[in-house]
Structure 1
Amino acid sequence: MNNQRLLFLMCRPTHFGVLYAINPWMNPLDWQRHETVLAEQAQRQWADLRGALLARGATIELVPAVERLPDLVFAANAAVVLDGKALLARFRHPERQAEEPHFRAMFHALKARGVVHAVQDMPDGMVLEGAGDCVFDHTRNLFWMGFGPRSHAAARRLVGDTFGVEAVALELVDPRFYHMDTALCPLPGGEVLYVPGAFTAAGRATIAERVGKDWRIEIGEGDAGKLAANAVCLDGTLVMSACSERLRAELAERGYRVAIVPLGAFLRSGGSAFCLTLRLDRRSGASAQPELRCQSSGTASASSR
């Protein structure tokens, strides 16, 4: 697999809706009042996101949608995938546990076709909700792993043993940012976009130890409330549902382009662009200069894209 192949897993929102509440974004009664309009909106917005990825050279594999499993659309939660290995998710909430056999069947089908070469189940009693709580940082060759609201801290060792790279576990403490992918996004040039208030003081200190000051981009409350951290990174383009002019200008200064694809229907379920996709071709191996990896006091300038 080539890291430039841009191979994603997605699931059509055929049965998407807010049918239950397992995070603060979800309001089933409000969804029901506007169900027809919102369901049509979800279809259009998902198609726009898929189109944005295809226009940038992506290939997309589709998980079959399943009735009464509205959150199957959030493919990022299917598994952690790196170097052709897939560690299948196990979900905390019963409402999502029924997704597990469908994701398992999909990955075994992908294995049969050679898209991945290994598929591994989570051990009994351990919860890890896929790439939603295990975000890969290619620059530092590590996973940023969230725990607390959904995933178990003990999964850190399993991730490290499975993929042969470090997993840095950070506790999530704001219920709005229940998965790591809602609160932190490593950018291709080495910067880390993150929501400071989503983490404990110890977590913020760990980020500062791993990411130099000039490489940390703090997301303000307005952008955080629109899940700006939940972006899909395609080299120098960041596909996001929303982005303030301030954040857009800061990203532009660092050489990034922002592609806005509104995803308001999915925000009602606490998801956005990253949640709706799972990168299948990701490979390990740091590509940036060594000083980017673990320096908290370095002042290197952003590389050009």
Structure 2
Amino acid sequence: MADTRHAAPRARIMMCAPDYFEVSYSINPWMHPDDWNSRRDELTGRSADGWSLLRHKLEQLGAAIELVPPADGLPDMVFTANAAVILDGKALNATFRFPERQGETPLFRKAFDQLAARGILTEVHDMPAGVHLEGAGDCVHDINRETFFLGYGFRSDREAAPVVAELFGEQVVPLELVDPRFYHMDTCLNPLSRGHVMWVPCAFSRQGQGLIREIVGDENLIEVPMEDAEKLACNAVNLGDDIVLAEASQRMRSMVAEHGYTTHEVPIRSFGMSGGSAWCLVLRLDRHSKRGARAAQLELAEAGD
């Protein structure tokens, strides 16, 4: 029987170790510093172990990991997905809404400049002053539809959409997020490799739900069960036919398996206390548009001649 699995190109991912991760402030409904402090030692250990197991699983699945140094006083720097929007080697450095995270921006900019010096990135850009965009946390790329889905309302601004469109040359669809539990787009919408899109409908306005259905098609939408959505299961890493996440019910595992995907669970639930999970903990440096992917394949072919 022929192998019908969809192999992933080698992914390159940026991560940041959770050396200083803790829940010391509250900027979303998941964050309760008192709960964290009551179990600090236990949760610190779980976070370190879970992060290491996530890294190991991604490497097992073929990913190359680039590390950015953590910084004391910036506990959410571990969530590298928020650092930038990256496509075709271009990085658009994030601007954070809350002061608690704004110190991350220059540190990530330095990291991206270093990656550019090594040839991993080609360009690094900054957001216009006064416009918030929290990286790939709110600006999710769908290569199959040549589209960015941009979440706004809680952390990012609708005004970021034309900035993204001009820099990357892709369609940008702004979608208002209306449920504070799903404050970033990556908590409620996740385009998958075969053209399916996992989503949490209640995160969007009725108008937004209709727009997603129109663009994606009902036949391609996988609605994440609420019991899983509340465990941030939509915030997963998809590499080819593999989906890496913190936890999934049997119902969800069966749903994605019917569409050709295999789930891998890693013990990273402690990061959910800050409102993040697998997607939040990684930043894909290798994302390409369709035209960018063709150019990269041509370059590899020419290099092999």
Do both share a fold (TM > 0.5)? yes
Q: 1:93 aligns with which of 87, 94, 98?
A: 98
Distance 1:170 1:131 in 2: 14
Amino acid at match of 1:104: R
How far off is 1:43 after superposition? 0.2
Distance 2:105 2:257 in 1: 39
User: SS of 1:119's equivalent?
Assistant: strand
Aligned to 2:287: 282
Q: 1:231 aligns with which of 236, 247, 250?
A: 236
Aligned to 2:221: 216
The runs of 4+ residues in structure 1 deviating greater than 4 Å are: none
Q: 1:165 aligns with which of 144, 162, 170?
A: 170
User: SS of 1:238's equivalent?
Assistant: strand
Amino acid at match of 1:75: T
User: SS of 2:24's equivalent?
Assistant: coil
Aligned to 2:46: 41
Aligned to 1:296: none
Amino acid at match of 1:253: E
TM-score with structure 1 setting the length: 0.92
Aligned to 1:139: 144
Distance 1:41 1:241 in 2: 13
The number of aligned residues is 285
The answer to whether residue 258 in structure 2 is matched with residue 240 in structure 1 is: no
Aligned to 2:295: none
Distance 1:115 1:172 in 2: 33
Distance 1:253 1:121 in 2: 41
Distance 2:291 2:38 in 1: 48
Q: 1:181 aligns with which of 183, 186, 192?
A: 186
How far off is 1:5 after superposition? 2.5
The answer to whether residue 278 in structure 2 is matched with residue 266 in structure 1 is: no
TM-score with structure 2 setting the length: 0.92
Distance 1:220 1:161 in 2: 36
Deviation readout 1:124-174 (Å, 9 max, x if unpaired): 010000000011111101111100000000111110000000111100010
User: SS of 1:168's equivalent?
Assistant: strand
RMSD of aligned Cα (Å):
1.1
Q: Do 1:139 and 1:286's aligned partners in 2 also have CA atoms closer than 8 Å?
A: no
The answer to whether residue 26 in structure 2 is matched with residue 21 in structure 1 is: yes
Aligned to 2:9: 4
How far off is 1:286 after superposition? 7.5
Aligned to 1:290: none
Distance 1:137 1:219 in 2: 18
How far off is 1:95 after superposition? 0.2
The answer to whether residue 83 in structure 2 is matched with residue 78 in structure 1 is: yes
Identify, as 1 or 2, the structure richer in helix: 2
Aligned to 2:56: 51
Give matches, 1:293-304, under 5 Å. Answer: none
How far off is 1:57 after superposition? 1.1
Aligned to 2:3: none
How far off is 1:262 after superposition? 2.0
Distance 1:250 1:264 in 2: 21
Deviation readout 1:198-244 (Å, 9 max, x if unpaired): 00001001001101111111112101101111010010000011111
Distance 2:67 2:291 in 1: 29
Q: Do 1:141 and 1:286's aligned partners in 2 also have CA atoms closer than 8 Å?
A: no
The answer to whether residue 58 in structure 2 is matched with residue 62 in structure 1 is: no
Cα distance 1:115–1:286, how it changes in 2: closer, same or farther (>3 A)? closer
User: SS of 1:77's equivalent?
Assistant: helix
Give matches, 1:190-201, under 5 Å. Answer: 190-201=195-206
Name structure 1 gaps, 5 residues minimum.
Answer: 288-305
Deviation readout 1:76-101 (Å, 9 max, x if unpaired): 00000000000000000000001111
Name structure 2 gaps, 5 residues minimum.
Answer: 1-7, 293-305
Distance 1:34 1:236 in 2: 36
Aligned to 2:300: none
